[in-house]
Amino acid sequence: MHSSFTLPALLLMTVCALWPANTGANTPLDAVVPPNAPRSEFKHDIGFGKDPFFPKSTRRPKVVEPPKGPITTSVPGNVALKGISVFKDKKLAIINDRTLAEGEEFTLKGNGQPVRVKCVEIKEKSVIVSVGSATKELALSTGY
């Protein structure tokens, strides 16, 4: 005699017999990874590494291209040195309305395209700035 109850019960028993028991130490990962192994940490930094699934991957944000326009070959005339401060061998320059240390930069807006102004070197009474490949020494005005 064959009943409809026997086939589902047989399938359930087969699945339960073949299903691995989750005891913690019998998983395939535990056989590969030694105990006390360090955990991997992955950086999600745009400037670090490559995405192997590029360009179809959605894990990383798209890189924004810099605006296309004329390349600045000179330092704009509206870049002005307003002050220099020295405290415990740390020099700071006030350029336009920004306080910068050597190596820092800011975006100057106005007169068309925004430009990146970098403070290259701070001297006693002047500062050397660069915009793109152009450099210029800005003297401290006596009026300030």
Inform me whether the pLDDT recorded for 70 exceeds 60.
Answer: no
Mean pLDDT within 97-111: 87
Average pLDDT over residues 22-51: 66
> What is the arithmetic mean of pLDDT over 56-69?
61
Residue with more model confidence, 23 or 143: 143
Question: Which pTM does this prediction carry?
Answer: 0.48
pLDDT of residue 22: 54
Q: How far apart are CA 48 and CA 44, in angstroms?
A: 8
Reported as type and span, the H/E element at residue 139 is strand 134-139
| 18 and 33 Cβ atoms separated by less than 8 Å | no
Ordered by start, the domain boundaries in the chain are 81-139
pLDDT greater than 90 at residue 30: no
Q: What is the average pLDDT across 107-123? A: 85
Is residue 120's pLDDT more than 90? Answer: yes
CA 82-85-87 angle, 5° bins: 170
Q: Does residue 140 carry a pLDDT above 90? A: no
- Which letter, b or e, does each residue of 82-115 get, where b requires 16 or more Cβ atoms within 10 Å of its Cβ? eebeeeeeebbbbbeeeebeeeebbebeeeeeeb
pLDDT at 59: 63
Neighbours of 128 (CB within 10 A): 17
Maximum separation of any 2 CA atoms in the chain, in Å = 111
